[in-house]
Amino acid sequence: MSEIETTIIIPSSCESKNKTAILNAINSVIESEGGAACVVFIANGQNVDIDLLTQIDALTGVETVLLKEPSASNAVKYGVKHYVKTPFFGFLDDDDYYLPGAIAQRQALLKASPEIDVAVGLALRERDGDLKPQLSKSEIELCRDAPFRAMLERGVNWLTSSAGLYRSSRIGNAYFEEPTRFFEWTYLAVKMMIDHVSFSFSGVTDHVIVDSPNSLSKSSDYRRYESVFFEILKILPLTHEQRDCLSIREADYYHSVYDELRKSGQRVLALKAHLKSMRSWSGFKKYALSTRKIVC
């Protein structure tokens, strides 16, 4: 058997209702063609199915961990700190899965280019059995040319939990020590870009993101947290250009909130959101004319 070169961390609530998806995710790692990888499966929370966890623990190439606190972010942090001993590591949501050869392709990219720190694969998004590319061709080109602008100004989410393979010698524990409540992968990407971490977008579709209607990213809490996230990002040592990108994203966010409130008849709250959308010069230029919709 080939020497294990990659550790894939899978955080999971490990509930029996998700058994099929969980085993599919694990099998997509341990049966991956050409990429010698092991799985660290970190069950977390109060609803863990112990029988399922025992079944997973019996699988070859899988190590299991049980944490009491229900937090995927803390599971990620724990896994990186205590279980990554291989040259490369990555993550996989427990309802996502790799396509054949995914890990080997990312490994090959990192091995061939020692200056590259993170290999980023492309995803298909699965919704109701239908598969579509997560990113358009123009978005992929923008990610390669201007990854910060793509993510912060345009909202192109190119570093999802399952998208990256990381070089262990370059991406250490510190990047995962203070996760945010939501947008944790965007936060990780921003911190790495500030540190001039080198990314390579493989151009290869190598994994599938299963789009669930009950995912956290579709919750009202997630939506409201975005304004908090902007303030967290502002604390970071961003360049002037990066702050401009963030200002545009923040203005767009508050304008969308304003539009929702205006359409629902909440004029006072809509006005407050509208004023926030114009706090930056870029936001003012973009949205000042919308004021007439409130005052008229």
250 vs 239: CA distance, rounded Å: 16
pLDDT at 290: 78
The residue type of 101 is G
Tens of pLDDT along the chain (296 residues) come to 468 999 999 999 999 999 999 999 999 999 987 778 999 999 999 999 999 999 999 999 999 999 999 999 999 999 999 999 999 999 999 999 999 999 999 999 999 999 999 999 999 999 988 999 999 999 999 999 999 999 999 999 999 999 999 999 999 999 999 989 999 999 999 999 999 999 999 889 999 999 876 666 767 888 889 999 999 999 999 999 999 999 999 999 999 999 999 889 898 999 999 999 999 988 898 898 877 766 55
Residue 289 CB-half CA count within 13 A? 2
H or E element: which one contains 118?
A: strand 118-127
Burial category of 264 from C-beta neighbours within 10 Å (exposed 0-12, middle 13-18, buried 19 and up): exposed
Task: Classify each residue of 146-178 as buried b or exposed e, where b means 16 or more C-beta atoms within 10 Å of its C-beta.
Answer: ebbbbbbbbebbbbbbbbbbbbbebbeeebbee
Q: Which of 212, 231, 259 is the last residue of a domain?
A: 212
220 vs 223: CA distance, rounded Å: 5
pLDDT at 274: 92
Say whether both 184 and 245 belong to one domain: no
Say whether both 149 and 88 belong to one domain: yes
In a domain, 180, yes or no: yes
292 vs 252: CA distance, rounded Å: 18
Phi, psi (rounded to 5 degrees) for 42: -110, 100
In a domain, 234, yes or no: no
pLDDT at 295: 58
255 vs 270: CA distance, rounded Å: 9
Say whether both 181 and 249 belong to one domain: no
Q: How many domains would you assign to the chain?
A: 2
pLDDT at 44: 97
pLDDT at 254: 92
CATH code, domain with 196: 3.90.550.10
Give the dihedral of Cα atoms 187, 193, 195, 200; nearest 10 deg.
120
Provide the sign of the torsion angle of the four alpha carbons 262, 264, 267, 268, taken in this order.
negative
Q: 11: closest CA among 25, 27, 32, 31?
A: 25
What range does the domain containing 269 cover? Answer: 239-295
| 51-to-6, 15, 55 alpha-carbon distances in Å | 27, 10, 6
Q: Which of 194, 212, 230 is the last residue of a domain?
A: 212
Instruction: Tell me, yes or no, if the pTM score tops 0.85.
Output: yes
Say whether both 165 and 271 belong to one domain: no
Task: List pLDDT tens digits, range 93-149.
Answer: 999 999 999 999 999 999 999 999 999 999 999 998 899 999 999 999 999 999 999
Task: List pLDDT tens digits, range 220-245.
Answer: 888 889 999 999 999 999 999 999 99
Say whether both 190 and 260 belong to one domain: no
DSSP for 176-209 reads GSS--SS-HHHHHHHHHHHTT--EEEEEEEEEEE
Say whether both 11 and 142 belong to one domain: yes
131 vs 55: CA distance, rounded Å: 30
